[in-house]
C-alpha cells in the first residue's frame, strides 16, 4: 500500500499544474470545435483567432486562481466546482468582449464564435472534472477490495455522516461502508455518498446479522444518551464494536479526521450536553496574550491548556510540581502548536511563595488559571496540613503574586465539596474561595486596571485522576467486583473538556469577586454509573458484581453546589451562573490562615471555620437547592 501511495500520490502543487495544462488544452479544443461548427456559415482564417485564444487562457488562469478552480479536491466534484469554473469563464468572457476586444485589442471577432468557445470550454472542463472524480472512485474501490477492511455500518445520514464519508475518501481506507441506518423514515432507500440507507436505528441487529457487519460508527453527535446506550447494548449482544464521532463543538473548533473517532464513553451514556463556547469572544480574550496555568499537568489543568492554546495565545506557561506530567503535556502541545505559540514548561510548587512571585514578575502573564490543588478526600483527611499548605497557602501565593504582577484576570478552579464542607479537602477549598474573592479589588469599573479574581465551582469530573471512573475500569478489567461505598450515594458529574471550557468561559465573563457556579445537571447515582460502565465493557451484572463497602472518612451521601443561605444570583451564559456567596472580611480569613499549624484538631478547626463563615453571615431560612433556583431563574428570565 505504501508503494502504491509513493507511485500515485502527487503534491498539491503538481496537481494544480496538471489541471492548468489540461484546462489550457481543453480551451484549445473548444476553440477548434467552435471554428469547425461555424465553417458552414463563415470562412475565417484560423490564425486570426490565436491572439484571442491566448487572451482567453490568460484570463481563465488568473480568474481560476481567484475562484480557486485549481485548489479543489477533484474527487469531490459538486455544484460548487461547476460554479467556480462557470464564474471564471463568464467573467473572462465579459472582460474579453467588453474591455479587451472593444478597447484594447480591436479584431474582427464575431460574438457567436467567442460565446461558443467559452460555452464549450465550460462544458469540457466540467466534464473533465467529473471524469477525474469517477476514475478516482474506481481506483479507490479497487484499492479497498485488495485490503482487509472492517465491514462497517454507519448510524446517521446527516451532516456529520457526510463529513465522515468525505474524510474516509481523503484518508487511507480503514472501513468498508456497507450501509447506513437513520431514524428519519424519509431517508430510507436514499443514498449518501453512494452509501444506501438500509433502515432505521432499531434495525441495527438485523442489518448486522444479514450483512455480516463487524463494526458500527455513530455519526450523530446530538444522539441522546438513552439511544446511545441502546445501540451499545445491541452491539454488545451481537459481538460488534462501536465507535462514535466527536461532538459538534469539537468538530467546529478542531475539524475532523478519522483518527478522531473514539470509543463510546460513560459520559455519552450520562447525557451531558455539549458546551457551546463564545468562540469570537474567547479569541479576543486569549489571542496574543500570555497565559499561565498552575497544575498544568493535572486532568483539569492540562485540558485547560489544550483548550486555551487553540485560541492562539502568544505564550503559554505550564506550571506544575510533577516533572513527568509537565513533560508529557509540554511535548503534546509543542508537537501540535509549537510553531505558533511559545510553550514554556515550569517546574514550580505553588507553596514556594518566592518562586511564584519571581516567575509572575518575570513573565507578566495576562491571565492565570489556578488549577493546582490536592483533591483526594480520604488522603487529605489523613494529611490535613498538606491540604492547608497546597490548597490554602498555595492559592494565596498565586493570587497575591498575580495582583503584584498586574495580571488582568485570575480564575481559581474550585469544587462542590467546598459547599457545607464535611471534610478537610472541601474546607480548604472553601477557605481558598474566600481568599480569592476577598483579595479582589472593590470598586473597579469596566476598563480600569487591577486584577479581577474569581472562582469557578463545579462537581466531579469524569475520567480525572481522582475520579471513580479509573477505579471502576480497573476493577472491571480484573473481573470484579466493583466496590461502592453506598448504593444511595449521588454525585454531580461533568466531562473534563466541558469543565475546562466552562472555566475558560467564566474567566472571560469575570468582572472580579464572583464565585461562578456551573450547571451540573441532575446528580447521578454512583450505582447507576457502575452499571453503565459494566454495559460499556460488554459484560453484564451477572459477570461483574457490585459490592457496598461503607462510606469513607469525610465522604457525604450527596454533594451540593450552594452553601446554606446562598443564592443563584444571575445566569450570565449557558450553564454558568453567578452565586451570591457569603464570605468573611479578608482580614479575618488571613488572620485565621496565619494561625494554622500542625495539630491533632487541625481538621476540626478547618471544617468549623469554613462552615461558621456562612452561619455568621447569613440568616438561614428555608433553603432551595441549586437546581430549583436555576429552574426559577430560567423561568423568570423567559
Identify any residues that bridge with 154 across adjacent strands, giving them in sequence order. Answer: 180, 217
pLDDT, average across residues 536-543: 77
Distance CA 352, CA 294 (A): 13
By C-alpha distance, which of 477, 452, 440, 310 is closest to 368? 452
Coil, helix or strand at residue 21: helix
Residues ≥6 apart with Cβ < 8 Å to 237: 205
What percent of the chain lies above the pLDDT cut of 70?
75
Distance CA 568, CA 218 (A): 37
CA 198 to chain CA centroid, Å, is 31
Cell of 597: 499549624
Distance CA 50, CA 291 (A): 62
Task: Give the helix/strand (H/E) hosting 273.
Answer: none
DSSP single-letter state for residue 39: T
H helix runs in 146-224, sequence order: 159-170, 204-210
What is the model's pLDDT at position 387? 94
E strands present in 125-227: 150-155, 175-181, 191-192, 195-199, 215-218
Task: Give the helix/strand (H/E) hosting 287.
Answer: none
CA 481 → CA 175, 259, 265, 525, 531, distances in Å?
36, 33, 20, 18, 12
Distance CA 202, CA 181 (A): 9
What is the model's pLDDT at position 352? 96
Distance CA 553, CA 260 (A): 41
CATH superfamily, region 279-623: NAD(P)-binding Rossmann-like Domain (3.40.50.720)
Cis bond leading into 6, ω under 30°?
no
Domain boundaries, the chain: 2-142, 148-264, 279-623
CATH superfamily, region 148-264: NAD(P)-binding Rossmann-like Domain (3.40.50.720)
Give yes or no on whether 148-264 and 279-623 have one common fold: yes
Active site residue 417: yes
What percent of the residues of the chain are helix, what percent strand, and what percent coil, each to the nearest 5?
A: 50, 15, 35
pLDDT, average across residues 590-604: 89
State the pLDDT confidence band at 477, using cuts at 50, 70 and 90: confident
What is the model's pLDDT at position 146? 55
Whether residue 258 has pLDDT greater than 60: no
Distance CA 381, CA 370 (A): 23
Residues ≥6 apart with Cβ < 8 Å to 348: 319, 320, 321, 355, 356, 359
State the pLDDT confidence band at 531, using cuts at 50, 70 and 90: confident
Residues ≥6 apart with Cβ < 8 Å to 279: 252, 253
Q: Which of 409, 417, 452, 575 is catalytic?
A: 417
pLDDT, average across residues 90-119: 72
Whether residue 234 has pLDDT greater than 80: yes
Distance CA 20, CA 14 (A): 10
Whether residue 257 has pLDDT greater than 60: no
What is the model's pLDDT at position 21? 87
What is the model's pLDDT at position 351? 95
Find the length of the chain: 638
By C-alpha distance, which of 244, 231, 160, 190 is closest to 198? 190
CA 388 → CA 371, 375, 426, 540, 598, distances in Å?
15, 12, 11, 43, 10
Whether residue 638 has pLDDT greater than 60: no
Whether residue 5 has pLDDT greater than 50: no
Identify any residues that bridge with 525 across adjacent strands, giving them in sequence order. Answer: 490
What is the model's pLDDT at position 523? 73
Amino acid at each position: 500500500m505504501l508503494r502504491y501511495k509513493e507511485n500515485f500520490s502527487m503534491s498539491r502543487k503538481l496537481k494544480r499544474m496538471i489541471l492548468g495544462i489540461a484546462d489550457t488544452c481543453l480551451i484549445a479544443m473548444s476553440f477548434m470545435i467552435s471554428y469547425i461548427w461555424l465553417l458552414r456559415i463563415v470562412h475565417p482564417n484560423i490564425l486570426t483567432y490565436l491572439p484571442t485564444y491566448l487572451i482567453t487562457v490568460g484570463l481563465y488562469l488568473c480568474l481560476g486562481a481567484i475562484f480557486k478552480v485549481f485548489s479543489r479536491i477533484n474527487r469531490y466534484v459538486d455544484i460548487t466546482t461547476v460554479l467556480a469554473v462557470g464564474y471564471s469563464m463568464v467573467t473572462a468572457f465579459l472582460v474579453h468582449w467588453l474591455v479587451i476586444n472593444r478597447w484594447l485589442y480591436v479584431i474582427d471577432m464575431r460574438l457567436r464564435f467567442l460565446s461558443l468557445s467559452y460555452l464549450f470550454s465550460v462544458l469540457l472542463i466540467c466534464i473533465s472534472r467529473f471524469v477525474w472524480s469517477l476514475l478516482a472512485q474506481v481506483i479507490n474501490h479497487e484499492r479497498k477490495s485488495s485490503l482487509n477492511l472492517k465491514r462497517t455500518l454507519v448510524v446517521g445520514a446527516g451532516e456529520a455522516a457526510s463529513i465522515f464519508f468525505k474524510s474516509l475518501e481523503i484518508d487511507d481506507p480503514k472501513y468498508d461502508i456497507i450501509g447506513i441506518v437513520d431514524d428519519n423514515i424519509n431517508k430510507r432507500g436514499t443514498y449518501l455518498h453512494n452509501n444506501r440507507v438500509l433502515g432505521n436505528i432499531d434495525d441495527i441487529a438485523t442489518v448486522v446479522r444479514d450483512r455480516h457487519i463487524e463494526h458500527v460508527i455513530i455519526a450523530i453527535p446530538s444522539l441522546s444518551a438513552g439511544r446511545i446506550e441502546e445501540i451499545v447494548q445491541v452491539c454488545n449482544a451481537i459481538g460488534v464494536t462501536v465507535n462514535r464521532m466527536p461532538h459538534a463543538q469539537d468538530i467546529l473548533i478542531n475539524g475532523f479526521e478519522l483518527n478522531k473517532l473514539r470509543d463510546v464513553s460513560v459520559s455519552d451514556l450520562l447525557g451531558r450536553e455539549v458546551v457551546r463556547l463564545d468562540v469570537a469572544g474567547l479569541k479576543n480574550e486569549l489571542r496574543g496574550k500570555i497565559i499561565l496555568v498552575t497544575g498544568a499537568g493535572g486532568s483539569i489543568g492540562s485540558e485547560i491548556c489544550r483548550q486555551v492554546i487553540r485560541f492562539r495565545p502568544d505564550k503559554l506557561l505550564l506550571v506544575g510540581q510533577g516533572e513527568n506530567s509537565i513533560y508529557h503535556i509540554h511535548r503534546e502541545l509543542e508537537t501540535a502548536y509549537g510553531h505558533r505559540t511559545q510553550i514554556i514548561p515550569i517546574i514550580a510548587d505553588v507553596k514556594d511563595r518566592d518562586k511564584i512571585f519571581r516567575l509572575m514578575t518575570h513573565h507578566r502573564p495576562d491571565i492565570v488559571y489556578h488549577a493546582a490543588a490536592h483533591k483526594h478526600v480520604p488522603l487529605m483527611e489523613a494529611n490535613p496540613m498538606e491540604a492547608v499548605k497546597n490548597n490554602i497557602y498555595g492559592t494565596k501565593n498565586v493570587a497575591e503574586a498575580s495582583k503584584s504582577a498586574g495580571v488582568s484576570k485570575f480564575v481559581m478552579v474550585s469544587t462542590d465539596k467546598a459547599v457545607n464542607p464535611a471534610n478537610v479537602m472541601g474546607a480548604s477549598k472553601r477557605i481558598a474561595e474566600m481568599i480569592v474573592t476577598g483579595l479582589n479589588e472593590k470598586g473597579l469599573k469596566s476598563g480600569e486596571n487591577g486584577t479581577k479574581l474569581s472562582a469557578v465551582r463545579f462537581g466531579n469530573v469524569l475520567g480525572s485522576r481522582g475520579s471513580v471512573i479509573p477505579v471502576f475500569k480497573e476493577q472491571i478489567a480484573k473481573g470484579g467486583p466493583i466496590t461502592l461505598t453506598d448504593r444511595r450515594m449521588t454525585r454531580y458529574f461533568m466531562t473534563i473538556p466541558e469543565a475546562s471550557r466552562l472555566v475558560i468561559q467564566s474567566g472571560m465573563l469575570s468582572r472580579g469577586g464572583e464565585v461562578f457556579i456551573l450547571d451540573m445537571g441532575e446528580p447521578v447515582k454512583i450505582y447507576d454509573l457502575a452499571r453503565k460502565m459494566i454495559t460499556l465493557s460488554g459484560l453484564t451484572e451477572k459477570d461483574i458484581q457490585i459490592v457496598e463497602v461503607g462510606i469513607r472518612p469525610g465522604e457525604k451521601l450527596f454533594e451540593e453546589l450552594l452553601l446554606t443561605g446562598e443564592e443563584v444570583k444571575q445566569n450570565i451564559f449557558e450553564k454558568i451562573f453567578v452565586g451570591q456567596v457569603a464570605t468573611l472580611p479578608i482580614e479575618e480569613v488571613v488572620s485565621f490562615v496565619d494561625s494554622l499549624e500542625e495539630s491533632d484538631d487541625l481538621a476540626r478547626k478547618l471544617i468549623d471555620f469554613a462552615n461558621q463563615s456562612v452561619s455568621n453571615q447569613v440568616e438561614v431560612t428555608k433553603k432551595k437547592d441549586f437546581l430549583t433556583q436555576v429552574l426559577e431563574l430560567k423561568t423568570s428570565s423567559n
